[in-house]
Structure 1
């Protein structure tokens, strides 16, 4: 992955120029992945997986979905574009519609000064681009795909936890460590044990 003059080795502070550049570079890379015919889950480094997300993302009910997006806050309607997108976790299937979405998304880069790629995709959804492209999509409820913006109230169901609404790496690490400790404590209780088949 060529980064030209940019150096992404260290922390890129949220909404800094290097951060925005890094996010757009990622979008370009993911477009290449889709063009090669691969489906993928995009998961940020600050997302903890507590359970297997594929048991929810790849079911008979989701076969027709092209893209499944996480949200900072979930309004109760999985097809409502008023759900605020979070591009730190999403599942995309490779097809002509999703490839065109990512192409259009990246085309906005040069006319989106000061906006990160997530803001641009949010604006695109508000303008009806997903529907115009014929995409089947849903937003993931935060009860299952949780984050610090809107925490899941159900530890028996939560699948992932994202350190969103948390700006700096040190704070993310500290807060996610707390989440992991709570999860391990929960799992240590014999009454909360699940079988391997239930976790698949």
Structure 2
């Protein structure tokens, strides 16, 4: 989700995160993992596991790769009774993007509550409802609230199960617009040069191999193998001692303490030129693949500014289709993300 430079966490929370990470680092054993206890409890029926496998097999590409997105009621219902919803915008991106419509057949939409699941089914998408107790994950979870943190860790737990099942996946937040096929910008072959993890950044430092990049877990591709499964297990295990820390910060700390090197995970940190966001706009509209509404606090603000992104994109495509000289497209500028900027100075509305 969003990696914000605003509202830094209390010193005690940071110290707790560092201590817990150092404990994990000191006890690491190479390439081992334990079964995820959380999902063993939540998804312990054969029928539930079979339903997930059916959804994955239906969406899978030839190399067992799927696209995964999570939704809840807040993402499918219009904010303040104003359409479109976040989910509407997410799907619109596939419709108006370049070479993206066909990718919807490889998308598995994971619902966190019944309202979201019904909306997904209505859209005739490939839907799976994650087992949960009641609808505790329904409604908007404001950035860094207890509900937000819980939802992020549940997501990590679920994605670990996909790796255990042998599926590669692109995970995408639903506040990410797919304007071009991102697979063309990812290393997808099965050679020695293939990457285990390719993850987006809030601000790219110019070096795709540098662990100093600020990662963003709102968009990434991961290949299923022993190394990545071990990474996700250790990542999720951090939750036990870090109840007030979001999963992205936990992963950031693991990376800083050398987890990628220890597990020999080949990693590429994605350039914001191609995988951009509100933290750092792409400088080249002719190259950008995805736009993420990161550095934003509320769903309402994300929706309003993502609508502006879609307007910008459609305007550019119209100019492009008219054969306007390249210097005109070079002058293209994204609209200012005013609502997201202001969301940090307002309440949760």
TM score, norm. by length of structure 2: 0.53
* Residue matched to 2:210: 80
Larger radius of gyration: 2
Alignment pair present for 1:150 and 2:280: yes
After superposition, the C-alpha distances for 1:26-73 in whole angstroms (9 at most, x for unaligned) are 000000011000000000010000000011114559952000010000
Alignment pair present for 1:172 and 2:310: no
Following the alignment from structure 1 to structure 2, what is the Cα–Cα distance between the partners of residues 173 and 23? 20
- State the shift of 1:2 in Å: 2.3
Following the alignment from structure 1 to structure 2, what is the Cα–Cα distance between the partners of residues 62 and 9? 42
* Residue matched to 2:18: none
SS at match of 2:216: strand
Following the alignment from structure 1 to structure 2, what is the Cα–Cα distance between the partners of residues 49 and 122? 25
Question: Do 1:71 and 1:83's aligned partners in 2 also have CA atoms closer than 8 Å?
Answer: yes
- State the shift of 1:7 in Å: 1.4
Moved more, 106-115 or 116-125: 106-115
Following the alignment from structure 1 to structure 2, what is the Cα–Cα distance between the partners of residues 164 and 96? 30
Alignment pair present for 1:3 and 2:142: no
TM score, norm. by length of structure 1: 0.92
* Residue matched to 1:130: 260
- State the shift of 1:3 in Å: 2.4
Question: Do 1:50 and 1:158's aligned partners in 2 also have CA atoms closer than 8 Å?
Answer: yes
After superposition, the C-alpha distances for 1:149-185 in whole angstroms (9 at most, x for unaligned) are 0111100100000000011001000000000000000
Runs of 4 or more, structure 1, over 4 Å off, are 59-63
Count of aligned residue pairs for this structure pair: 192
In structure 2, the gaps of 5 or more residues are 1-129, 325-349
From the superposition, tell whether residues 40 and 150 of structure 1 become closer, same or farther in structure 2 (CA, over 3 Å): same
Alignment of 1:16-31 (within 5 A): 16-31=145-160
Alignment pair present for 1:97 and 2:227: yes
RMSD: 1.5
- The one of the two structures with greater contact order (alpha-carbon pairs below 8 A, sep at least 6) is 1
